[in-house]
């Protein structure tokens, strides 16, 4: 997308694209072609074999054949680039400090992962809905449902971002159906959890280079805590995926592909058969900028994520246990826990009664 002198923009894979490794290294992420879902029986078998291998192994892959066009991608990335070139006063006019729903702009360094400062700024956007102020007896996670904040100087941003949520929501729904089919489960098993108003979110993220103190944490190592993440990254690089031995694998940008990873709730729902993998972003060197757009496909806030019924459930190794990060079967509790800890200033301003309950910042999403 944009560096100091942008020359290329991420674009979608054209119709008919096929999967294949971007390098000769066997250490590269798998590349999976979603368009195989509309092919022959052999094509579908290949798709499901590749999905199952990736989702039970590294937990990450590159997705092509998704149908998002270069024009759609350019509309979003152009609007994002324009947002980050707005005067600071315009960006701060939509600060997330204004929003009890954790929507809006976060200044560089104001979000934390694992208790440490992330050197990036971002705009948090979700489905455009009326504010749901929890009534007596309702859980506080309903605060996460509400309106976005849009800069008055950039009306095209609203159109591009909400259109992106709709389009990627469709891609992620199709991908989840194929993923569940690949492990022998009913593709519609979680349809009810996504009925109504699923909690679809995206971030427009800028990494402005290395922090002044030399720290390289663009965003610290973490796992996503929902279902599926689709990441559009630019040409700069910096995303790294943790290997089983604790080392990190670089994820080089691949034009036209989304980087896909699975969240903790799918790992919990399958008792560890599907894998959520820790990942991080290393800041680009010097003052070079990196841009990315993660999209989070998650169920309704009040959805209860039931254990998945699939033939190989008895072979599941068990989900990762982290006493510092308890996971709940009710999605809203996990999402609320993450946002209240990752954005402590918003929590203190709008939900002061939760400050002590929120505890130390846990890893958040990239």
Element at 249 (helix H, strand E): strand 248-250
> Of 70, 69, 29, 72, nearest to 53 (Cα)?
29
CATH architecture of 31-358: Sandwich (2.60)
**Residue 222: its pLDDT value, please?**
84
Cα dihedral value 267, 244, 281, 301, nearest 10: 10
Q: Which residues of 6-45 are buried (b: 16+ CB within 10 A; e: fewer)?
A: eeebbbbbeeebebeeeeeeeebbbbbbbbbbeeeeeebe
Gap between the Cα atoms of 321 and 132, Å rounded:
32
Residue that the structure tokens 């079967």 belong to: 329
> Of 276, 166, 289, 180, nearest to 237 (Cα)?
289
For Cα atoms 225, 47, 260, give the angle at the middle one, nearest 5 degrees: 25
Secondary structure of residue 277 in the 3-state scheme: coil
Gap between the Cα atoms of 133 and 276, Å rounded:
32
Beta strands 239-242 and 279-282 are: antiparallel
Retrieve residue 187's tokens: 């593709």
> Of 300, 261, 264, 301, nearest to 281 (Cα)?
261
In the chain, what are the domain boundaries? 31-358
Gap between the Cα atoms of 11 and 1, Å rounded:
9
Retrieve residue 55's tokens: 């989702």
The 3 state secondary structure assigned to 136-205 is CCCCHHHHHCCCCCCCCCCHHHHHHHHHHHHHHHHHHHHHHHHHHHHCCCCCCCCHHHHCCCCCCEEEEE
Residue that the structure tokens 């008055």 belong to: 152
Each residue's pLDDT, cut to its tens digit, for the chain (366 residues) gives 333 333 233 333 333 333 333 333 347 899 999 999 999 999 999 999 999 999 999 899 999 999 999 999 999 999 999 999 999 999 999 999 999 999 999 998 777 676 677 878 999 999 999 999 999 999 999 999 999 999 999 999 999 999 999 999 999 999 999 999 999 999 999 999 999 999 999 999 999 887 777 777 787 878 888 899 999 999 998 899 998 888 999 999 999 999 999 998 898 899 999 989 998 988 888 888 999 999 999 999 999 999 999 998 988 988 877 777 667 778 998 899 889 888 889 999 999 987 754 443 343 444
Secondary structure of residue 245 in the 3-state scheme: coil
Gap between the Cα atoms of 36 and 315, Å rounded:
28
Q: Which residues of 297-323 are buried (b: 16+ CB within 10 A; e: fewer)?
A: bbbbbbbebeebebeeeeebeebeeee
The 3 state secondary structure assigned to 289-340 is CEEEEEEEECCCCCCECCCCCCCCHHHCCCCCCCCCCCCCCEHHHHHHHHHH
């Amino acid at each position: 997308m944009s560096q100091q002198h942008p020359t290329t923009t991420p674009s979608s894979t054209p119709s008919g694209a096929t999967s294949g490794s971007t390098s000769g290294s066997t250490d590269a992420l798998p590349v999976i072609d979603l368009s195989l879902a509309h092919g022959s029986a052999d094509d579908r078998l290949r798709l499901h074999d590749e999905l199952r291998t990736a989702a039970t192994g590294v937990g990450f892959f590159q997705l092509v054949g998704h149908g998002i066009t270069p024009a759609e991608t350019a509309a979003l990335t152009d609007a994002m680039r324009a947002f980050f070139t707005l005067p600071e006063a315009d960006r701060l006019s939509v600060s997330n400090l204004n929003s009890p729903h954790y929507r809006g702009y976060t200044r560089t360094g104001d979000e934390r992962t694992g208790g440490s400062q992330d050197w990036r700024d971002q705009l948090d956007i979700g489905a455009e809905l009326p504010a749901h102020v929890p009534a007596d007896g309702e859980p506080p996670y309903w605060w996460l449902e509400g309106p976005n904040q849009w800069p008055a100087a950039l009306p095209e941003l609203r159109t591009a971002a909400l259109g992106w949520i709709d389009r990627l929501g469709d891609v992620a729904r199709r991908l989840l159906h194929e993923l569940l089919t690949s492990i022998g489960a009913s593709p519609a098993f979680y349809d009810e959890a996504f009925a109504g108003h699923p909690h679809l979110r995206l971030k427009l993220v800028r990494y402005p280079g290395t922090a002044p103190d030399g720290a390289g944490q663009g965003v610290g190592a973490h796992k996503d805590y929902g279902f599926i993440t689709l990441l559009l990254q630019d040409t700069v690089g910096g995303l790294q995926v943790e290997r089983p031995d604790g080392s990190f694998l670089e994820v080089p940008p691949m034009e036209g592909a989304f980087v896909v990873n699975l969240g903790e709730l799918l790992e919990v729902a399958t008792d560890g058969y599907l894998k959520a993998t820790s990942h991080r972003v290393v800041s680009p060197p010097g003052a070079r900028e990196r841009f990315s757009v993660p999209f989070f496909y998650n169920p309704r806030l009040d959805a209860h994520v039931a254990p998945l019924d699939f033939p190989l459930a008895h072979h599941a190794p068990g989900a990762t246990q982290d006493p510092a990060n308890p996971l709940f079967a009710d999605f809203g509790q996990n999402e609320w826990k993450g946002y209240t800890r990752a954005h402590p200033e918003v929590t203190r301003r709008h939900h002061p009664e939760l400050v002590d309950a929120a505890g130390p910042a846990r890893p958040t999403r990239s």
